[in-house]
Structure 1
Amino acid sequence: MKKADENKLDVLSVDMEIDIRKEYINITRHSGRMVHVIDWRIALYINGNKLHEDEVFVEDEFLKSLICPGKYPMFTCTCGIFGCGGYYVEVSHEDDRLFWLTEQSPFKEQFVKTSNKFTFSWN
């Protein structure tokens, strides 16, 4: 790897979509009421490229990875079962950088040229 590439940092960005709707919920067998339901979705981008939408980002595992390095089940299948289509991210820390090594490419698009190694600034 070239020296210039070693110092290049990747950019991790997040986009959150929120939708609020009303839904009729049965409270008891004979009584119900309209309640607000909040639907939300997080989309991740690395260097401006959107990560695959069929893999669900597990926020709790991401937050744990910021505290302690290790191997985390950071992406899971849309069905919610990790073994169905999820994969691990190996996370390591340095004073000014955070590293991800993914088990597979996180991008849906084949045109995104990348290794499975990412370097992010703590900032």
Structure 2
Amino acid sequence: MDIAIFPKEVVGTVMHEGIEFSSCTFIEIFLDGASFCEIEDFEGGVVVWDELKKSAVDSGKYLIFTCYCGIPEDGGWDFINVTHLDNEIIWEFDRVSCRKIVFNKADYISQINDCGALLRLESYPLAMPVSRIPYY
């Protein structure tokens, strides 16, 4: 499956599932040209950037998606079993149904690295609901 990963900066305020996000960056994943949030089994998910980056390094279980509120269980999310083979990276998970997605390993790693290079987190930090921003 083809994968493309991009940062999407939000200037101002945007609402998702009744939660307000302000001046932040979401990570968007496109699978075979379709935004993951429009694909069955991925609706209502937001990417956990640190977990996605770790999944490019080694096999293991990663919480790549969560709910907009930040509590994965609220959106029906759980760990994705990621397996590294010589030329492939495989995601296996069970959300609405059992899914297995196979990626070209070089493309997967390249897309994550390219997205990381595009992030300007000083201007727009990774998405966090306004109600959960720590105050000091």
Letter in 2 for 1:103: D
Q: Which residue of 2 aligns with 1:76?
A: 66
**Displacement of 1:61:** 0.8
User: Percent same amino acid at aligned positions?
Assistant: 27
Q: Are 2:33 and 1:48 aligned? A: yes
SS at match of 2:64: strand
Structure 1 unmatched runs, 5+: 1-9, 22-36, 107-114
TM-score by length of 2: 0.58
Larger relative contact order (CA 8 Å, sep ≥ 6): 2
Matched, 1:94 2:85: yes
- Note if contact 2:27-2:49 (Cα within 8 Å) is conserved in structure 1: no
Distance in 2 separating the partners of 1:39 and 1:13: 20
2:53 aligned counterpart, secondary structure: helix
RMSD: 2.2
Moved over 3 A (4+): none
CA 105–66 in structure 1, closer or farther in 2 if over 3 Å, else same:
farther
Per the alignment, residue 118 of structure 1 pairs with 101
Larger radius of gyration: 1
Q: Which amino acid aligns with 1:49?
A: A
Number of equivalences: 91
Please give the secondary structure, in 2, of the residue aligned with 1:64. helix
Stretches of structure 2 that go unaligned for 5 or more consecutive residues are 13-21, 38-42, 107-136
